[in-house]
Amino acid sequence: MGSQMGYLLATLFVISVSLSYLPLEASATNYYYTSPPPPKKYPPPPPPPPQYKL
């Protein structure tokens, strides 16, 4: 009977700890999302040289 009581207490302890940490991770009140900077626009490559047909 002692092992069942210890198992029950351990289960309740794990549940209480997980529930106590849940609001800290679930709340997004102090979280501000900063978008990444836009990609740099490089100048277009030069056109290929003209190819003359023989």
DSSP assignment string, 11-51: HHHHHHHHHHHHHHHH--TT----PPPPPP-PPPPPPPPP-
Quote the pLDDT of residue 24.
54
Q: Which helix (H) or strand (E) holds 53?
A: none
Specify the residue for token string 């549940």: 15
How far from the centroid of its chain's Cα atoms is residue 13's Cα? 28
Q: How far is Cα 9 from Cα 5, in angstroms, rounded to an integer?
A: 6
Q: Which amino acid is at 43?
A: P
* Span 8-53, pLDDT tens digits: 999 988 888 776 765 555 555 666 677 888 888 888 888 888 887 7
Quote the pLDDT of residue 11.
93
